[in-house]
Amino acid sequence: MSTVTRPPALRGDWARLAHATLSDVGHRSGAARASVIVVLEAAPCCLSAQEVVERAHERAHPVGVASSYRVLERLHSLELVRRIDLGDGVARYEAVNPGEHRHHHLVCIECGRIEPFEDARLERALHATTPPPGFSLIDHEVVMRVRCAVCGRDR
């Protein structure tokens, strides 16, 4: 299991892209938008709207849950964030950096911890897969249910 962090060269680029894209389509800048973008850019993996709010408050840039959802959905509609469904009924979001390697998610079945992971062989296999006739691959998402090292020690 490897942890994924954004390369230093991409930090700041996504925030600039997000702000510019939102401005280009006529969305006003504001404190909520700025807070959500700062939090998402710093996150190594996906966050729920509630987690975005909590991290914004930790950074002394408070944002409400409703405002957080609005900004996240706006960013999603512009394909600046990916909405992740881990099967627990909570939508999570992560920044989409052009040119960044795609990562997937490990979810501990005991504690719920989420870790990003990359696997080049898995990526190649997924891209080599041919969908059945009448379908074309648009996107893919891999969620592996695991028991993390901490929870595994408790057994």
Domain boundaries for CATH 3.30.1490.190 within the chain? 104-153
CA angle at residue 22 from 91 to 50, to 5 degrees? 25
β-partners of residue 105 are 116, 143
- Judge: domain 104-153, CATH 3.40.50.300: no
pLDDT digits (tens, 9 = 90+) for 63-117: 999 999 999 999 999 999 999 888 888 999 999 877 666 788 999 999 988 998 8
Report the predicted TM-score, pTM, of the whole model to 2 decimal places: 0.77
Q: Is the pLDDT of residue 27 over 90?
A: no
In angstroms, the CA 47 to CA 105 distance is 12
Q: Is the pLDDT of residue 132 over 80?
A: yes
Residue 87 Cα to chain centre, angstroms: 15
User: Looking at the domain that runs over 8-95, which CATH code has it been given?
Assistant: 1.10.10.10
- The residue among 155, 137, 139 whose CA lies nearest residue 147 is 155
Largest CA distance in the chain: 54
